[in-house]
Amino acid sequence: MPFSTFKLSATLQKTLKEKNFLKPTAIQEKVIPLVLENKDVVAQAQTGSGKSASFVLPLLELWSKTRDNAKKGKIKILVLTPTRELTLQVAEVFEEFSKYLERKPQIVSLIGGESIGDQLYDIQQGCDVLVATSGRFLDVLKKKQMNLSHLNYLVLDEADKMLNLDFTEELDLVLDSLPSKRQNLLFSATYPPKMLDLVSKIMTNPVQVSIEQTQTVESIKQRVIEVNRENRGPLLRHLLKENRWKLVLVFMANKRATDNIAEKFRKYGIKAASFNADLEQEVRNETLQAFKDAKVNVLFATDIAARGLDIENIDCIINYDLPRSPADYIHRIGRTARAGKSGEAISFVEYETEAHFRLIEKRSDIKLPRESIQGFELVGEAPQKVKGPAPVKGKGKSKKDKLREKQGL
């Protein structure tokens, strides 16, 4: 089914052709018609499935048909996301697809790390589309200088991540500030039980859309390499040299580790950088742009980069440290093989982390062979499980002994 079969305006179709978007992804094919029919939608789709376009395109179509001629925009579309980077990315998608609209929407991003006063000023100068992190949106909401009475569309993007950030406690504040009559769209890669509570608060009889995980990760070559913890750095440098990847995203467990290892790799002449929440927003933006432009070839990041970032042409994902959950594993590896391309994901495993990765495999319904790279083989022995001492038998009489006495045995 080509994009031309959707009820999208000629101006949006022109942008799609210009960007060489000829055929919709599975999530786009299912969601776009539902949004155009003003349905509430709960969509479960993995990272890299093209979900941003699945709501941006139809919302721009609906907005362009219902907008008024006022000079200052009124907030009609609100998109909430869990991270700064995803917020900026979604806003950019709105900008790109509205390129040829007769009247372009005024788009404002709300993220932490920037002046809240400047952001309020931008909203008051006119805003049709507001894209915000949930935390900064609540900060601005408390200022009581934002008019949301004209809102028609609410989107929660990466809702499962927001739940992990205790968004449920703040959701009531958000909903109380919005008109009750609106269209609601919720997107999530995973669907934990508490998501049901979130959906019931926001929607009534939504249409549920689910895209199978295999449809989005089947083009990713997944590998597991056994290596001792202290040899992970040398092994990674070996893999970089052997494979000549242009863009590699490496996931680490903590912020300090990303800074330390990026500095070490730069000493080896590798164009490496770190990406974590401690960096100022301007530095984070510059680092991501340098990575997109291939001025940085290896990006060492914490899981903040795993959510929603759309960076094309990442050749390989390295799980230097394993993710905490199967859902995080899927989010991480979904950074490669974007837009129908192939990609590779490699996880480093040692004796102490083998059991954890087996759990990830079980819950992700995958089973991967273990590899060994010559010169970096896993050495030593797996730690033995130590049995605790045998329980001490009490001094009192057992039930069996008491029964014998009673029966005179």
Q: Mark residue 159 as left, alpha or beta (left: phi above 0; alpha: psi -120 to 50; beta: remaining).
A: alpha
Q: Are residues 34 and 174 in the same domain?
A: yes
Alpha-carbon span 90 to 323, nearest angstrom = 25
Residue 11 lies in a domain: yes
Residue 397 lies in a domain: no
Please say which residue of 212, 241, 262 terminates a domain: 212
Q: Are residues 327 and 201 in the same domain?
A: no
Residue 407 lies in a domain: no
CB-count burial class (<10 Å; 0-12, 13-18, 19+) for 85: buried
Q: Are residues 175 and 223 in the same domain?
A: no
Q: Which domain holds residue 272?
A: 219-371
Q: At what angle do helices 84-97 and 51-66 cross, to 10 degrees?
A: 50
Alpha-carbon span 151 to 165, nearest angstrom = 25
Q: Are residues 249 and 198 in the same domain?
A: no
Q: Mark residue 58 as left, alpha or beta (left: phi above 0; alpha: psi -120 to 50; beta: remaining).
A: alpha
Q: Are residues 82 and 199 in the same domain?
A: yes
The residue length of the chain stands at 409
Please say which residue of 212, 244, 277 terminates a domain: 212
* pTM exceeds 0.75 for this model: no
Q: Mark residue 320 as left, alpha or beta (left: phi above 0; alpha: psi -120 to 50; beta: remaining).
A: alpha
Beta-bridge partners for 301: 251, 275
* 409 residues of the chain, pLDDT tens digit each: 788 889 899 999 999 999 888 889 889 999 999 999 999 999 987 666 788 999 999 999 999 988 776 668 899 999 999 888 889 999 999 999 999 999 999 999 999 888 999 999 999 999 999 999 988 999 999 998 899 999 999 999 988 878 766 677 788 888 899 999 999 999 987 777 778 888 888 888 899 998 765 545 677 899 999 999 999 999 999 999 999 999 999 999 988 999 999 999 999 999 999 998 888 888 988 999 999 999 999 999 998 765 656 787 899 999 999 999 887 888 888 888 776 678 999 999 999 999 999 999 998 889 999 999 999 999 988 777 666 555 555 555 555 555 555 555 4
Q: What is the pLDDT of residue 262?
A: 96
CB-count burial class (<10 Å; 0-12, 13-18, 19+) for 283: middle
pLDDT digits (tens, 9 = 90+) for 188-210: 877 777 788 888 888 888 999 98
Strands 298-301, 272-275: pairing kind: parallel
Alpha-carbon span 196 to 345, nearest angstrom = 31
Candidates 67, 175, 48; CA nearest to 129 is 67
Q: Are residues 189 and 208 in the same domain?
A: yes
Q: Are residues 241 and 301 in the same domain?
A: yes
On whether the CB atoms of residues 189 and 49 are closer than 8 A, the answer is: no
- Which positions ≥6 away from 254 have C-beta within 8 Å? 302
Q: Are residues 130 and 184 in the same domain?
A: yes
Q: Are residues 156 and 183 in the same domain?
A: yes
Domain tally for the chain? 2
Q: Are residues 129 and 268 in the same domain?
A: no
pLDDT digits (tens, 9 = 90+) for 119-149: 999 999 999 999 999 889 999 999 988 999 9
Query: Kindly report the CA angle at 282 between 280 and 284, in degrees rounded to 5?
Result: 70
Residue 171 lies in a domain: yes
Per 3-state DSSP, the chain is made up of helix, strand and coil in percentages (nearest 5) of 45, 15, 40
CB-count burial class (<10 Å; 0-12, 13-18, 19+) for 98: buried
Residue 380 lies in a domain: no
Residue 82 lies in a domain: yes
Alpha-carbon span 124 to 129, nearest angstrom = 12
Residue 286 sits in a domain of what CATH number? 3.40.50.300
Residue 64 lies in a domain: yes
Q: What is the DSSP letter of 244?
A: -
Q: Are residues 195 and 82 in the same domain?
A: yes
